[in-house]
């Protein structure tokens, strides 16, 4: 009787743990872990759900963040992430989200590799403002040389 009760408890625990483990393998859960890890400067959490290319970018971000002031690190921990939409298309997904620190909605590409959802973040994902600035910088020398003539 005692043995069968232990076996029942073991089986029930195994089923519950299996369910919990499987329920975390969604694009939404992986995106939330990635974004929270990235913006809270907990880079190991972000790396755990990242493609290999994305891990390289996280390494770069982490190197730059070494000189971040403690007050900024503390403030980063207060950033809230809200997943607003998830669109899955086979082994790819797009997760839209909002951050408490910035207006508007942003997107994160996700890819399923070996049965696990991973963030696929590239330099181009957040570069539009930089490209516009580069265009302005490229135009400035021409304007300066024209006014010198």
Using one digit for the tens of pLDDT, what is the confidence trace for 86-111?
A: 999 999 999 999 998 888 999 999 99
Cα separation, 39 vs 87, in Å, equals: 22
**Left (φ > 0), alpha (ψ -120 to 50) or beta: where does 110 sit?**
beta
Per-residue confidence (pLDDT) for residue 34, from 0 to 100: 97
Domain ranges, residue 6: 2-148
- In the 8-state DSSP scheme, what is residue 73? H
Could you tell me if 114 and 128 are in contact, meaning their C-beta atoms sit under 8 angstroms apart? no
What's the structural domain count of the chain? Answer: 1
Tens of pLDDT, residue by residue over 72-89, are 888 889 999 999 999 999
Alpha-carbon distance of 93 to 21, in angstroms, equals 20
Domain CATH code at residue 85:
3.10.450.50
> 38: helix, coil or strand?
helix
- What's the predicted TM-score (pTM) here? 0.67
């Amino acid at each position: 009787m005692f043995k069968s009760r232990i076996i029942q408890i073991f089986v029930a625990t195994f089923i519950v743990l299996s369910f919990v483990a499987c329920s975390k393998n969604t694009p939404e859960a992986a995106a939330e872990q990635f974004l929270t890890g990235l913006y809270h400067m907990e880079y190991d959490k972000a790396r755990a759900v990242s493609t290999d290319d994305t891990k390289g970018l996280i390494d770069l971000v982490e190197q730059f963040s070494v000189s971040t002031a403690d007050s900024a690190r503390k403030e980063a921990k207060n950033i809230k992430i809200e997943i607003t939409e998830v669109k899955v298309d086979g082994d790819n997904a797009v997760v839209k989200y909002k951050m408490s620190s910035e207006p508007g909605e942003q997107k994160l590409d996700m890819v399923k590799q070996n049965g696990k959802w991973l963030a696929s973040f590239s330099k181009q994902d957040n570069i539009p403002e930089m490209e516009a600035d580069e265009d302005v910088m490229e135009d400035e020398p021409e304007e300066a040389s024209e006014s010198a003539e």
